[in-house]
Amino acid sequence: MRNKSSKSGKKQATRPELPAGTFTWINISGSLLFTLYSFWFLGIHKADLMFRLQELTLFLFDKTFFYEHLQSPGGLLEYAGKFLTQFFYYPWLGAVILTALLLLWQWMLIRAFDLPKHLRLLSLLPLSMALLYIGMQEYSIFVAKYSVLSQLAGMILAVLPLFVARFLPGTRARILILLTLVLLGYPFLGFYALLGALLLWVGLFATGRTETEHQTKLLLRQLLLLLFLLAVPPLFFLLSGQNINPKYLFAYGLPVYDYPNTPWMWTALVACPLLLLGLALLSFVKTDSCRSLWWLNPLFFVLGITFVQAGSYKDLNFETQLAMERAISHNDWDKVLELARKPNDNPNRLLVIYRNIALYNKNQLCERMFTFPNTDEPFHTKNALVSNTIVGAPVNCFYYGLLNYSYRWNMENMVLFGPRPENLRFMMMSALLNREMELVGKYIHILEKTLFYKKWASEHRVYLDDPALLLENKQYKTLLALTQYENLLGQDQRVIELAILNHFCNLKSGTDEMLEWSMSSILTTKSVYKFWPMFFVYVNKNLPLPRHVQEAALLLAYFEKRDLGDLINLMDPRVLQRFDEFKRLTESNTHLTEEMLAALVKRSFEKSYWYYFCFVKDLKTN
């Protein structure tokens, strides 16, 4: 067959012929490069995101767990998505598996849609939409009910019937597959079964058109098949007895609950089926290999990667949060501080809390907490469900020793989003420190059915037999020391940071471990009247005065005209000298407006409590 382009134009006629195998070379290179890109994207670039997704997605090797997922259409996809997600416990492993799946899918796409050589890398566009959907994930992951990878499973499985149909001769076999897919596939794959059937339907239409089938007969057949496709979900609703919400009859399997106020999150999910339909429609236009269009394949490759890169969610706070949370999962407090040190003028409160927890664990809380920015940047999402409390309370409360609150918010999360490994882990640890051993046993039993938390859970069985061993675990020992407070009946009003700060501000007594949290809370809330009693606890216990405590004492004594007397000897001379400089600067610039003075002081004293106390105002500690 002659190349169309070779017929037309003088210029083209003079173009040298591409050597044989050029397309193969381009296509293989494109696929390989995309494979490498996919691995980099999932296993390195988005490693923290993928790790967090697996912490928020539970998969159990358990029959009941499987059956639970078959309660509504699309449930099997959710099951498959959760199965895949668990491997991101090791992001590189998850990336290998997912990349292999994507590669397999690309091959299926090429075969299923019979893509000509010069359009083969068109198959990368659906893949890039799958990656884009992952890349677009933002704060909604914390409040999502559906597994992100269930969509990828759906996309792959939607193409599978068409792929299989290519190997079957005759129209009847394909019709049979379509009917079977809709009838048997809908209960398991929901929307994606219908999409798969629609792809087959388009294929049948195209084939019928080119064959010598009678046009009226063809149209009638197609109409009947389409009606059948549309009729199955309502019929399933009427006959199955499953508790299905009729409103979502055609959308089961899609994350219909997950993106309130964030419709753009649907971009990739809408684009991918449209692309697949586009590929199916290609069969209406018989396209032979066209060597002059060799540039199309590289273009598709570039487009695919551009879509993913340009469309992925980029937010410094979000990325830092994911990385910090991953580090916290591994008790790597140095890593948390390393992330906190990265230039970021506007961390959100969650990052501030994580950083403080890390500082506390490194015994540097009141020494360094104001050397970092203390801001209250909101979460950059329109998803109204995302809040500091829903996202952060389950973990934060635990590390503050508020075990009941941690347990509560893990439970509330479980109610809203289903059980997750993270929630089960923290509920287990909270119960363990509360000495609720039967409850611990229950959570261990469940976590032992996971692939990657099994070992961790089993290791905790020793505490069931001998709870005294808890004191030999450094982390648990520290946390137990934070729980030596009187019970209080109250409400956190779903404003968890404020509840934590109030809790520590109001403590009348406690262990040395609790003292630092109390002082840091007093400093954060600027609870002046509570400062001195706590200050004298440090003095009376002969504890070294952390830097910020010294700074606060000097500042408050200055404001209150209090004579510190011999207490001044407890202060670091460098702090005293800096305070003199601070006083001089502020006293000599009283003519400036507050904003101007704040900017001036910030230059030299941004990392002091003085700056925080005087110029950081109206922090929203939610």
Binding letters toward another protein, positions 13-52, x by CB under 8 A: ----------------------------------------
The DSSP code sequence of 250-316 is TTTTS-TTS-TT-GGGGHHHHHHHHHHHHHHHHTTS-----GGGTTHHHHHHHHHHHHHHHHS---H
Which has the closest alpha carbon to 548: 569, 522, 587?
522
- Our finding on whether 491 is near another protein (CB under 8 A) is yes
Q: Which is nearer to another protein, 91 or 187 (CB)?
A: 187
Residue 226, C-beta contacts closer than 8 angstroms, at least 6 positions apart: 201
Sole binder of another protein in the list 10, 247, 561, 603 (CB under 8 A) = 247
Q: Which two tokens stand for residue 151?
A: 């969509």
Q: Which two tokens stand for residue 555?
A: 């500042």
Q: Which is nearer to another protein, 63 or 603 (CB)?
A: 63
Sole binder of another protein in the list 144, 340, 358, 402 (CB under 8 A) = 402
Q: What are phi and psi of 616, to 5 degrees?
A: -90, 110
Distance of alpha carbon 326 from the chain centroid: 11
Stretch that binds another protein, among 264-272, 277-285, 315-323, 412-420 (CB under 8 A): 412-420
- Our finding on whether 244 is near another protein (CB under 8 A) is yes
- Our finding on whether 404 is near another protein (CB under 8 A) is yes
From first CA to last CA, the distance across the chain in angstroms is: 70
Least distance from C-beta 495 to another protein, angstroms? 13
Stretch that binds another protein, among 29-37, 57-65, 277-285, 586-594 (CB under 8 A): 57-65
Binders of another protein among residues 465 to 484 (CB under 8 A) are 483
Binding letters toward another protein, positions 257-276, x by CB under 8 A: x--x----------------
Sole binder of another protein in the list 203, 253, 419, 510 (CB under 8 A) = 419
Residue found under tokens 């099994």: 454
- Our finding on whether 506 is near another protein (CB under 8 A) is no
- One-letter amino acid for residue 100 of the chain: A
Least distance from C-beta 491 to another protein, angstroms? 6
Q: Which is nearer to another protein, 171 or 511 (CB)?
A: 511
Alpha-carbon span 365 to 352, nearest angstrom? 12
Least distance from C-beta 323 to another protein, angstroms? 28
Alpha-carbon span 283 to 210, nearest angstrom? 10
Alpha-carbon span 335 to 324, nearest angstrom? 7
Query: CA dist 149 to 50, 255, 334, 373, Å?
Result: 10, 11, 32, 36
Least distance from C-beta 156 to another protein, angstroms? 27
Q: Which two tokens stand for residue 470?
A: 């808890």
- Our finding on whether 407 is near another protein (CB under 8 A) is yes
Give me the torsion for CA of 85, 90, 92, 95, rounded to 10°: 0
Q: Return residues touching another protein (CB under 8 A).
A: 62-64, 72, 243-245, 247, 256-257, 260, 384-385, 402-405, 407-408, 411-412, 414-416, 419, 431, 434, 436, 438-439, 441-442, 445-446, 449, 483, 485-492, 503
